[in-house]
Structures are given as structure tokens and as C-alpha cells.
Structure 1
Amino acid sequence: MSPGLAWLRAIALTTLLTASVSYARDEILFTSSVTYCDPPETLLVQQFDMVYFNKNESVFFNISASSVEENVNVTANLLLNVYGLTPVNVTIDLCDILGGALCPLPQYNFVGSDTLSLPSSLNVADKIPGIAFKVPDLEGYAQLSLLEVGTGDLKACVQATLSNGWSTHQPAVTWSTAGVAIAALISAVWQSLSPTALAPCRFLDLLYLYQTIASSALLDLNYPSVYRAFALNFAWAIGLVPSSSEQNTIDHMRYITGGRMANSTSGSAIAFVNRKLSPYNDQSLISTNTASSGFSPLNLGRRSSSGIFEQIKILSTEGVATVTSSSSNVLDAGVPIYTNSIHIATANAFMTVFFAALILTAIALAVFGLGYVGLLAMHRFRLGRAERRVELKALYSSLVRVWSLRLGLLFLYPIVVFAFYQWTLKDSWLSILLSVIAFLAVACGTGYSAFIVMRTAHQSKAYALYSRPAIISSHGPLYAQYRTARYFFFLISLACVYLKAIFIVFAKASGLAQIILFLTVEVGVMTSVFVLRPHRTRGADVLASYLAIVRLVCTGLMIAFVERLAVDAIPRVAIGIVMAVIYSVAVIVVVINFVLHCGIQQLWTKQDTSQHEGSANDAMVEKDDRGSSFPDLLRPKNATPEQNIPLDPEINEPHTPLTPPSAEGEQNVNKRDSASTNFGNLLPRRWSFTPLSSPADSHLSHPSLSSPYHTQDATRHQHT
């Protein structure tokens, strides 16, 4: 085993966020799909299953086939392709084996299954490298071709892809990432009463990272199996949640509304992948006129032997399809292969995303309704303090608007991508109509908030966005995490959504063009983060810079997947594993950052009551460079500026009046004097008309200085 590949495999298996514990199992290879590689003429195959056990060098087979022509003498060619290499390519004359019993081919049905021990003279175990049983998402297939003796005509051709049962597509990863997202959502909702809370921002960052990983496998590229399988773990983040009953409903809906494209299937997409691409990696057998990309492997995961036999049974019931260069069932690159890999038909992709968004919207509306009923119950039964009830009722409408905007931001990317893609299919007028409605809903919803923000900033100064509770409490998710001077940075994020969607859908004819365009976008985003440093804190800028670098590096690595570059399979697999590791580490970093800022440290921090309340409030809001927290709009603002403001020195000096005050006045002064300072003392009346000391002339009343956001920006520029 190559030390480099072993090292990469070890990293991948330990860092790809798998929650299940590894356990020892037998080293096996088995058929994961079976197809005709040429229309059958002589030999009809109904079933072809095989499992090789390396421990005792035995083979289990289950074959059902029949010959339909008379007097056919053939030779059999057996070819084994592993990562584009052909370690086995032998031709056998069937007339020379079994005493000529297969010459000519007998006309009868052959059905049989058994377990055979291979002869030790074959030395099969030494010919198969050990890594073939351990590397996830093995890329290999076996091909059996029957050629007529004399003429060389192809009478039958059968291909069977091979798998070892290991895959980076694990249900445990999907559930783990979804569970983390749900926990982040709960924390974000808990802290969302403050428009400057950090948890809702990190929740969006986490989901955006999930969507980035999932959508990175939608381009017209020859992805290695291991990376596409990894990206499938995050398919739920872009709304691709497969359900057999839902897919059947969508199939029926499309059929009665003019849809004529292929329906969803419970089988694997591996059987319909272009043979030039993974896992076949063969440039000579079958070629198509359309550009193609990689495939997504069968989700076998870690299985016992009984689990593998169950999977073989499922594959057998699907029948044997014919996949050739002229077949209409060959999946195109990008979205088709990705969605079919999780049993979602190409034409069903948008409707699956639409139903997912519809279900989440219904859940959100139900939660909003229950919250409103709870407020009514609090007022009806007078639960809690009266001022708190009034406060919550006044804020509830803003809370509903701000979370509606966050949901729109989460739906925006997947709906735009799959709505655009649905328009290119021209299948089912109802699907197209719903895609237009969904696109307008999310585009107008987020666009309206962006328009309000920009209009407010144009009509007033930028600090008005942060000083007006009605604006920041409703449209804060767009700009609240940015500095006052960089409030417009959200426009870059929105532009990236539409640009990437356009590149994925309308540039799908060229993977190289897609990569160049994606690289241009990522370079622009990274440069803008480095130059503008838009966030309020250095820590947030560091995190944004790190994520921008991750996206740029992984996008650059995908150049190796461009089909026309013809990079060998093994380097592509190594690069795919590296990308999976980089993205996995990025997910862990974002999760750790979220945990550190969600207030969970309060569970073990021991402080007095006042300090505890202060830390709870501080945990809900983001800190600036100097450690001061941004104001919570639920509390009255402190108009005292943070800058050192020069004061009249006479004010700090003890004042000696020309005439002594009366006894009553002296008593009142002593009551209000501080024992350690003269600040706050009651001064004589003649102070009130001293021009240099008049409060009306103090620059404390200047609106720009009374805004804490303006002060924080000024402090930020001093640091930079």
C-alpha cells in the first residue's frame, strides 16, 4: 500500500465528521450495479451478482442468464478496470474449457448460486492490493464481452461495477450535521431578541457553508467518487431530501402536466454514468456527445455481509439496463448525476427543493402562530410582569419579520439554482410555473429588504441603519454584522448567489468555463474581505477570511476534475480526499466558533448575580475591538460617548461662592456631594449661564457622537 494514499485515507476516515464507530469486518468486493454495455443479442442476463471474500479467497455468485441463438461459438474477454488501470485483461476460448460444453453456446436458461473456493494456484489475494478493500468509494468495474469466433462480432457485453462497502456518504454524517444545524437554530432563536446577536449570524454562516459544500458537486466536472459521495452528506442543506412517496407524487404530477422526462428510481445512478468518467475511467469504450461529469456512489456505508446481500437483492430487482453511447438514459454532468445518486429524478429536483421550502415555511408559520397565541395567553392570564408583556408584544412583529428574512436568505441559493435549472428542462408546465413563483418570492423578499436598507442609508446617514430600531430589528440580518461604514457588504453576498446559480446552470456545457468563473467570484470575495474588513471585530474578519480562503482553495483544486485535462484517476481521488478534509475542518471551525459565542460558557461560570446578568447580555451581542458590547435595543441607550472629551477645568475645581449659601442650601449640597470627587455636585445658579459650561453647547449632543455605532467605527479606524 502506498504510504501517501494510506495517509490520505487515514485522514479522510477520521475527519469526515462520521459519528459511527469503526469496527472490523471482512475484506470483500462485490458488484454494485450491472448493465449491458451493448444491446444484447445472444446472451440475455437477468441477474449477475458476485461477492469476493479475501479472507478465504472464495467467491459467491448468483447468475441468471440464457442464450437465444443457435450454433454460436464465442470467446470470452474479461477485463478488470481499477482507477483507470487494467490489471486484468484476458481472453478465453470457451471451446477449450469444460470439454467444449460451451461451444456452441447451449440454448437454455442457466440459474444458479453458490460459494466456491478459488484454487490456491491462482494466487488472487496477492494480485489484489490491500487498499482496494479499504479505500472509500472504490472506482472499479469488471466487463465480460462475448465475441463470435471468426467474425469478431460482439454478441454480448456486460459490465459490473465493484464496491468494497466503504463510502464517505454516511447517514450518520447527514444526521450529525443536521443536528448541529438544529442546535444552532435553537440558540439563534433564543438570542434573536437582540438584533446584533452573534448566534443568528453564525447560524447563517454554518448553513451557507453546508450549501457551499453541496453545490460544489453540481458543476460539469469529472469528480472522483469519494468527493461526490462526501458532498451528498450535505444535500439536505440545499433542499434535496429524498422520499420515495414524495418522488412518486412528483412523478405523477409531472406526468399529468406535460412532463415526459425519466422518473425517479430506487436504483443507483452508478449504472448510467458516462463510461469515460468515474468509476469507469475508460476513454476507449463508450463516449457521448455531451459533456459529462463524475458520479455519486452507491450509499453502502459500513455494512455487514448480510447487509451487502440485502443490497444485492435490491439491485437484482431493478433489472439490467442497456447503457451505450447512443442511449438516452445516460446521465449528464452536474445536477442530473448528483440528484439521481440520491434517487431524485433530474426533472424532480426543483419540486423536491420547493416542497422542502414549503414544509419549512409551514413550520415557521405554525411557530409564529403559537408564539402569538402564547402572547395573548400571557395578557389574558397576566403571566409575568406587565412591562415585560408589553415589551414582548411590541417586539413580536419585528421578530417575525426578521426570521422571515433569515428563512428567505436560506432558501435563496437552492431555489435560484434549481429554478434556473427547471427552466432549461422544459418539462411540466406546472413545475415551471411553481419555479417562477418560488423564484419571485425569495428574490423579491430579500430584494425588498435590500432596497429598504440602501434607501435608508441614502436618505439618512449610514448610522441611521443602526440607530433606528424599526430598521435594524426587521432588516438586520443583511447588515447588522458589518461595521457602519461597511453596511453595503451584504450586496456582495447576494450577488454571489445569483452569479453562482447562473454559472452552474447556464454554463454547464463547459466545466472549464465554470471553474474559471467560480474562481473569479471567489478571488473577488476574498479580496473584498481582506481590503474592506467589513465585520465589527477582528475575530469575525478572521473567520470570514478563513472561509473565503477555504472556498478559493477548494475551487482551485477542482481544476483537476476538468475532463479535457484528463488527469489520472488516482491523483483526482487524492485531491478529492484533500478537499473533503479541508471542508470538514472548516465545518468543525465554524461549529467551535459558534459554541464559543452562543453563551454556553454561562453553564459553568460562577459569578454573582449582577455579573451573571451582564455576562448573559454580553454573550448575546458581538464585541467590538475594545471589548465593549453593542447596545441591546431592548434597553435604553447610554448617550455618554466613549471618547475622551475635554471639559472646562473650572468645572472640576471646587467653586467658592462670593456669598456663603444659606444653611438650608449648604445642607442640600452636602447631601449630594461625593466623598471622593466633586463630579455630580450641585453647583450655584450662576454656573447655568456660564457660556463655556453650558450643557447645551457641549458636543455630547451631536447625533453622530451619541450613536455608539459611530464611536465604534471611529475606534476601529484608529486601530487600523
Structure 2
Amino acid sequence: MLARLALVLLPLLPISAASDGVLFTSSVTYCQPPDTLLIQQFDVSYMQQNNSITFDIVAQSVSNVSVSANILVNVYGLTPVNTTVDLCDLLGGALCPLPQVSFNGSQSLPLPAELGVSNRVPAIAFRIPDLEAYAQLTLIEVGTGEVKACVQATLSNGWSTHQPGVEWATGGLALFTLLVAAWQSINPLSVLPHRLLHLMHFYQTIATSAMLSLNYPLLYRAFAVNFAWAMGLFFAPHSRLQHSIDNMRALTGGHLANSSSDAAVGLINRKISPWNTNIQTLVSSPMTQSLLAETPVNDAPPTSLLLAFGAFQQLNAVAEVQTVTNDSSNVLQAGIPIYVNSIHIATANAFMTIFIVGLIVVAIALGIAALLYGLLYAAGRFSWVKQPTDHQLRSSYPPFLRAWALRLALVGLLPVMIFAFNQWSLKDSWLSILFSVLALLAIAALILPSVFLTMRLARRESPNALESDAQHLATHGPLYAQYRMQRYYFFLPLLVAAFVKAVVIAAGQGHGMSQVVVLLIVELAIVAAHILLKPYDTRGGDVFSTYLAIVRLVCTGSMIAFVESVGVAAIPRVAIGAVIAVIFSVAVIVLTINIFIHAGLNRLWRRGNRPSRAPSTLVSADASTLEKGESSPIDSRPVHASHSRPPSNYSATPDNNSVTHHSASASILSHTALNDTTHR
């Protein structure tokens, strides 16, 4: 049932172009220390069209022995191919015994029909994104049955749910939302700045969902990597940034593995995807060491069919083939190590990567802030605007900057906590640990004072004071302005949830079931809080936020199937991973539609029947009333039936209506294009 559902949903996922009916090599590793054979290149492909296996090998023999070769293919835990051939029958006997020189060998082996390989390899294997399959070559000494060499190669069909187009699209949406939100945010009650936080936090949810110690299907892990940029994990196969971090760590006590441009899939723990088995058991099993089937070989001259397929990703003279066994120290365990190494970032480099990216973002933000201040200064200096307006703009600018600094901190909170806590557990580089402490302190210095001041003002006066105090609203509004005033505190459980998630992800590595259970409890509590408290200004806001919370809950609960101890078979796990990816993708689409609506798209069909003026109680207060310190226009707006404050929205089309506040710090509202007020 799940497999059929996956077939229906997989076309909805982003996938890259692929060759038809071919499986080919994507990584190569030794499955036991090299003794007899040193590998430089090992390409294997299976051709569906003619039911044959082709291999191309560049190696060096260091032992003069006669061997047979066992070829095993594993697809999603199944072994449709497990055959042994005598190398003395290949290449005119040139490989019997193995010459103690470097040699190239290539051959196409048509598989006998009686093996039924074509029937046992389903057609979906050639189309499903991020195929989980590998081929293993084991050289067995003739006569003794002793394993002399073991090489394994993961196979791919060229399809993947990870591709740059998705990263550019999601990043473009975030940039668009940022630009429009920056314009609208001069009204503290506008919706889009809060949607920017929703968008970034949801991207981060998808990315972190693949950082648990679970046996994720390769398909889902590749999908989640599309959102790694939202965590600050920008990468490139040959990144100078990673090389610089490697050098820094080496000079400051770092001892863990450095970043690599090679594919990380070859180093993944053999018990989990894409291997789905204990390869050491297969190597040493009597079945592997026996001749399971004598495969006839063509007498035609040796050829390499790989040369006919220009789209293949061949391994060209790998500098060093890694040895990966159960006892190897270089095995990548499930969780953060596999995730970050999949994008060519070493586990010990993860925090420094987001730290440096964060510094770049802060530098850009400071540059934009300085540019805006320069424009404001020039406007006053050269009398581009009238004197009262110039004073109001300048007085409103500091709260505007502090509000955006708070938003920036809220976006960076989860990545900094996760990778700072993880850096502490690694105990790798003292400088990295120092920077992680400084980053946490900086985030705390931006968020905690706003939390304290907001809670103190609400307790000393009343929740309504949070909105009537325009100075406080303009500065600390990103925390609470989206909620109705009786539920101003709703940001507290969300901050606590973020902290718990960071601790569970970073400190719970190796305990997949515990991680899923704790996160499931957290998500269930958030859903319950949305349903019981109904924190938002409007019913639409409650429905939207509750929908996102339910999506997180359902996807987190579904990941129980990825816990190793549960033992779900590979194919059902892939189907569940595809379903989770589709659910997340649909939620991103819903977020996108909501963002465009609040960016002004809804005005395209509302323009014709919109009233020419807003109700008089929503326009502005008399200047003398404001000077006397009486109630502000925000206080005089009509109250929604079930809320303590009226719903409001920002519209980017200017007209003659203006919204003003009694505080000069918010008076910029009356001199910009956010002049008409509609119901949220």
C-alpha cells in the first residue's frame, strides 16, 4: 500500500534528469583493509535493456594469487544478484593469477535468464529518486576460500530529490518575503514580517528533521538537504571556506576529520540507508565465499559499455579509497554527522560554518542599516523632506533597527543552539567552542531583554499596554504583535520548544527513539496550545498556524518508522519518507500562497469593491488629543468580538488615510505608504 502511494507521490517531488534503465557507481570504498588489491577506479553498471552487468576496474595487485570474483548487488535490502565468476576465464586468462602490476580491466557479463535478475529488479529501481543500492566485489582465493579483497560501490540511477533549483526557489521566496516585510514592518501590526519568521522557522524544521539519529531513507535525507541553507549551512564541493576552517581547527586543538569533496555516502554506517545491511556479515558468510552460480562470459574482446553512456558519473582515479568496516573510526553515524557531511561539511566544521555565515549576514545588515541612516541624514541635511517629518523619521529609525535585530536573532536562534551544543559535545577545537559561547551570548543579549521587558510591562500595567505603548510595540513587537493581547505570552512556549528541540537534536545523538518521543511530545503540546488558546488576532491566523503545527506533529510522529530498533523494511521506509516529503512540500506551497496574499496579491481582486475610506475610528486621532497623551488611534479602533484588540492589516497602496501613534518613535507611520488599514 505504502509503495503504491509512493509511486503516486514521487512525481511531485523535485528530481533531476537521469539515464533510463541503468544503475551506475556513485561511490567506492573497501569493505576490508586492502591486502591483495589496491583500487583506483571501480565502476559497475547494470543495464536493464540487455540484462547485463558491466564493470570497469583500475587497480594494482600486490599478491600473486588466483582468485574468483563474487559480485553481489543489494537493492533496498534485497539481493537480486549474487554470482561468482572465475577470473581465469576473463580477458584470456590475463588475471589468473593476479599480476603484481597496475592493470585495467573491463567486461560485460550478460546474466543468465535462469537467475531471473530482470524480474527481481523492479522497474521503479530505475526511476525512484535516491536509489538505495550497492554492488560488492569480493575476491576469493581459489582453493582456500579466503577473502583477499573486498570492494563495495553504491549505485545510483541519476534521480534525486536534492537539486540546486529547489534551493534557489526556496531562497528566492525568502528573499522576496524579506524585502516586502522590511517595507511593511514600519507598521508594527503588519502581518508579513511575522510570516517571514514562520517561513524561515518552517524551513529550519524540515532541515533539522533529518538530523536525528534515525535510519532515514536516502530519498528523505536528500530532500531535507535542500533546506540546509536556512540553517546557515552553505556549501560547495571544493570550498575555500571549509579548507580555512580545517586549518583553523588544526591550529587550535582540532583532531576530528576534515571536510572532503568526496561523496559521504560511502562512509555511512552499513546498517542504515543506503546500505540496509551489515556488509561484514555478507563478506564472511559461507554463501558469499562459495560459487553460487557459474556465469557464462562472452568470448568477445573486452569492452567497457560505460564509454557509451556520457551521462554516467564515473569515478576518475580516486586519490584515496576509504576502508569502512564495523570497527572503522571513520564511519558516519546517523544524525548531524551524516547530514552535514552529505553537503561536504565536516562534522567538526558545522558550527564554524554557520558562525561565519552569520557574521556575513550581520555585516550585510549593518551595511544596509548604515546606508539607510545615511539617506535619512541626507534627507534632513539637504531638506528633501520637511523638518517635522525629518525629526519623526530619525526618531523612528532606532526602534525599527532594534526590531529587525530581534527578528534576525529569532531566525538564528535554533541553528546557533543546535550546532553550539553539538560543538561542545565534540570537544574538538577550543577556538570553535569559544566562538560558540560568544554566539549564544549574542543571541541571548538580543532576545532575552525583549522577553523580560515585554513580560514586565504586561504585568505592571496590563497586556493592552503592550500595544498602547507605541515605543515598546515598535521595538519588541516581533515577539508578540501577531497575537491578541490576552495571549501576548504565546511566544514563551515557542522559545522553550526551540530550546528543547536544540538540546534533543544536539545532545541526543545516538538515541533516535528518545529523540522522536521527546520531539513528538513537544509538537503535541504546541498543537494543543494552538487549539486551546487560539492566540492569533483572527480565525484565519489561528487556522494557518495550527495547520503548520499539525504538519510538524504528523511528520514527527511518522518518523518513528525510521527508528532502527523498530526494524521497518527499506521499501516501506522509503514510501513513508516520500509521504513526509510531500506533506512538507505542500505546507511550503501553502506558506507561499499565504505570503503572496499578505504581500498584496489579494488586492488584485479586491480593488474594485474596496471602500474609498476606512471607518473614521480607524483613521487618525486629533493632534491635540495626541499631545495631551490621551488614547492613541490603536486604542480607539473597534474591538473584535473575541479579541482584546481589533484586527488590522497593512496595505501597500497609498491613499489619503493615515495611521498615527501618540509616540514620536512610531510617527513614521503617517509619512509612508502604509496608509490604509484593512481587517486582518
TM exceeding 0.5: yes
In 1, Cα distance between equivalents of 2:224 and 2:280: 28
Aligned to 1:259: 254
Q: CA deviation at 1:29?
A: 1.1
In 2, Cα distance between equivalents of 1:718 and 1:379: 35
TM-score (ref. length: structure 2): 0.84
Deviations 1:631-657 (A, max 9, x none): 69xx548999xxxxxxxxxxxxxxxxx
Q: How does 1:53-202 map to 2 (within 5 A)?
A: 53-55=47-49, 61-70=55-64, 72-94=65-87, 102-112=95-105, 116=108, 118=110, 125-202=118-195
Aligned to 1:217: 210
Match of 1:89, SS state, is strand
Q: How does 1:390-405 map to 2 (within 5 A)?
A: 390-405=391-406
> What letter matches 1:346 in structure 2?
T
Q: CA deviation at 1:317?
A: 2.9
Q: CA deviation at 1:327?
A: 1.0
Match of 1:536, SS state, is coil
Q: How does 1:543-558 map to 2 (within 5 A)?
A: 543-558=544-559
Deviations 1:146-179 (A, max 9, x none): 2234433221101011000000001100100000
Q: CA deviation at 1:390?
A: 3.0
Query: Which among 2, 5, 9 is matched to residue 3 of structure 2?
Result: 5
Does residue 1:33 correspond to 2:34, yes or no?
A: no
Aligned to 2:566: 565
Match of 2:639, SS state, is helix
Distance of aligned partners of 1:606 and 1:709 in 2 relative to their CA distance in 1, 3 Å threshold: closer
Distance of aligned partners of 1:195 and 1:4 in 2 relative to their CA distance in 1, 3 Å threshold: same
Q: How does 1:254-403 map to 2 (within 5 A)?
A: 254-283=249-278, 285=280, 308-309=311-312, 311-313=313-315, 316-403=317-404
Q: CA deviation at 1:711?
A: 3.4
Does residue 1:44 correspond to 2:38, yes or no?
A: yes
Q: How many residues align?
A: 617
Aligned to 1:413: 414
Contact 1:26 1:53 in 2 (8 A): no
In 2, Cα distance between equivalents of 1:582 and 1:555: 11
> What letter matches 1:205 in structure 2?
H
List alignment gaps of at least 5 residues for structure 1: 288-303, 615-627, 641-700
Distance of aligned partners of 1:24 and 1:99 in 2 relative to their CA distance in 1, 3 Å threshold: closer
Contact 1:138 1:225 in 2 (8 A): yes
Aligned identity (percent) is: 51
Q: CA deviation at 1:10?
A: 3.9
Match of 2:136, SS state, is strand
Q: CA deviation at 1:68?
A: 1.4
In 1, Cα distance between equivalents of 2:635 and 2:335: 50
Deviations 1:368-389 (A, max 9, x none): 0000001011112222444433
Q: CA deviation at 1:392?
A: 1.8
In 2, Cα distance between equivalents of 1:93 and 1:54: 24
* RMSD after superposition: 3.1
Deviations 1:92-136 (A, max 9, x none): 34456677664433333212457x584786886555321111000
Distance of aligned partners of 1:255 and 1:636 in 2 relative to their CA distance in 1, 3 Å threshold: farther
> What letter matches 2:213 in structure 1?
D
In 2, Cα distance between equivalents of 1:318 and 1:469: 63
In 1, Cα distance between equivalents of 2:441 and 2:258: 27
In 2, Cα distance between equivalents of 1:361 and 1:98: 62
Distance of aligned partners of 1:637 and 1:57 in 2 relative to their CA distance in 1, 3 Å threshold: farther
Q: How does 1:619-634 map to 2 (within 5 A)?
A: none
Contact 2:72 2:83 in 1 (8 A): yes
Q: CA deviation at 1:709?
A: 7.6
Q: How does 1:216-235 map to 2 (within 5 A)?
A: 216-235=209-228
Distance of aligned partners of 1:718 and 1:599 in 2 relative to their CA distance in 1, 3 Å threshold: closer
In 2, Cα distance between equivalents of 1:445 and 1:90: 63
Does residue 1:711 correspond to 2:639, yes or no?
A: yes
In 2, Cα distance between equivalents of 1:5 and 1:601: 40
Q: CA deviation at 1:67?
A: 1.9
In 1, Cα distance between equivalents of 2:258 and 2:646: 61
Contact 1:67 1:109 in 2 (8 A): yes
Match of 2:80, SS state, is strand
Distance of aligned partners of 1:383 and 1:29 in 2 relative to their CA distance in 1, 3 Å threshold: same
> What letter matches 1:12 in structure 2?
L
Distance of aligned partners of 1:513 and 1:708 in 2 relative to their CA distance in 1, 3 Å threshold: farther
Aligned to 1:577: 578
In 1, Cα distance between equivalents of 2:192 and 2:203: 17
> What letter matches 2:20 in structure 1?
D
Contact 1:462 1:487 in 2 (8 A): yes
Aligned to 1:664: none
Aligned to 2:432: 431
Deviations 1:34-68 (A, max 9, x none): 11000111122111113344346676643111221
Distance of aligned partners of 1:47 and 1:23 in 2 relative to their CA distance in 1, 3 Å threshold: closer
Aligned to 1:598: 599
Distance of aligned partners of 1:284 and 1:159 in 2 relative to their CA distance in 1, 3 Å threshold: closer
Distance of aligned partners of 1:147 and 1:56 in 2 relative to their CA distance in 1, 3 Å threshold: closer
Which has more radius of gyration? 1
In 1, Cα distance between equivalents of 2:258 and 2:590: 40
Does residue 1:588 correspond to 2:589, yes or no?
A: yes
Contact 1:399 1:474 in 2 (8 A): yes
Match of 2:280, SS state, is coil
In 2, Cα distance between equivalents of 1:572 and 1:534: 36
Match of 2:27, SS state, is strand
Q: CA deviation at 1:27?
A: 2.8
In 2, Cα distance between equivalents of 1:348 and 1:541: 39
Match of 1:598, SS state, is helix
List alignment gaps of at least 5 residues for structure 2: 283-306, 648-680
Deviations 1:395-450 (A, max 9, x none): 11111010010000001010010000000111111100000000111022111110
Contact 2:23 2:45 in 1 (8 A): yes
Aligned to 2:482: 481
Distance of aligned partners of 1:542 and 1:413 in 2 relative to their CA distance in 1, 3 Å threshold: same
Contact 2:31 2:279 in 1 (8 A): no
Match of 2:63, SS state, is coil
